[in-house]
Structure 1
Amino acid sequence: MSAPAPGNFMPKEPVQLNPPKDDPISLDELAAADGRDARKVYVAIKGTVFDVTGNKSYLPGASYNVFAGKDGSRGLAMSSTKPDDATADLEGLTDQQIKVLDDWYTFFSNRYNIVGKVVSN
């Protein structure tokens, strides 16, 4: 897994996105959108919840399912798909890793609808 190249921030085909929402999404609600039900799949980055429904890469057994149903910011920053790294904890990340995470946030923002913000249960 590598960070998106700068030219890859914009999708090849234009994506019609809805206006971003800031609806509160609990950790339980986020966890329920882990790809087991392919009709609702969410990934959170820095507390922002993206609807990745329809992208098979986030379904069980697929390469990025480790991020489905959780805030996997640390793993994205580290370019890691290890389950232990798929957390929201940013403590100890380098400036370069934070930049990688910001690049992933931009990448997702150009492709997926923002459906809310993660709130504590």
Structure 2
Amino acid sequence: MPPGKRFEPKEPVHLDLPKDDPISVEELSKCDGTDPSRPTFVAIKGIVFDVGKNPAYGPEGKYHVFAGKDPSRALATSSLKAEDCIPKWDDLEEKDIKVLDDWYTFFSNRYSIVGKVEG
């Protein structure tokens, strides 16, 4: 399988045009899937994705720990621990940064970009 194809979804996904709206860390934290009146967001490397259509990020989902956060470090190190769900990733080894880049590509092919984390 060609490298670019391995992260494509099995079913076609309609993505909205990417936005670069500033989203504060406080606002991001409110978008954790627990309030049905708010979207569910996950940020990777400061870029915010709307993951609300995937129940895995909802309150009962297996990836809920990532919702409302920038869990770049956790994604890079394949961790589901809440304490690893932090945006600091620039000190990681090259192999972990590659994993994070792969996650970014995976999300980019499935979820609309709605903004950037401020700060």
TM-score in terms of structure 2 length: 0.91
Q: Kindly report structure 1 stretches of 4+ aligned residues shifted beyond 6 Å.
A: none
Matches of residues 33-72 of structure 1 in structure 2 within 5 Å?
33-38=31-36, 39-72=38-71
- Deviations, residues 9-31 of structure 1 (Å, cap 9, x unaligned): 10001111111000000011100
Aligned counterpart, 1:92: 91
Partner of 2:81: 82
1:17 aligns with 2:11: no
Q: Distance in 2 between matches of 1:87 and 1:29?
A: 16
Q: Offset at 1:91?
A: 4.1
1:7, distance to aligned residue in structure 2 (A): 5.0
CA distance in 2, matches of 1:104, 1:24: 22
Choose which of 26, 35, 40 in structure 1 pairs with 2:24. 26
Gap runs ≥5 in structure 2: none
In structure 2, distance between residues paired with 1:37 and 1:110: 26
| Cα distance between partner residues in 2 of 1:8 and 1:95 | 20
What secondary structure sits across from 2:113 in the alignment? strand
Percent identity, aligned pairs only, is: 59
> Amino acid of the residue matched to residue 14 of structure 1?
P
SS in 2 for 1:101: helix
Q: Which residue does 1:115 correspond to in 2?
A: 114
Report the CA distance between 1:62 and its aligned residue: 1.8
Aligned residues: 116
After superposition, the C-alpha distances for 1:51-103 in whole angstroms (9 at most, x for unaligned) are: 00121101113210111001000000000000000100114311000000000
Q: Which runs of 5+ in 1 are unaligned?
A: none
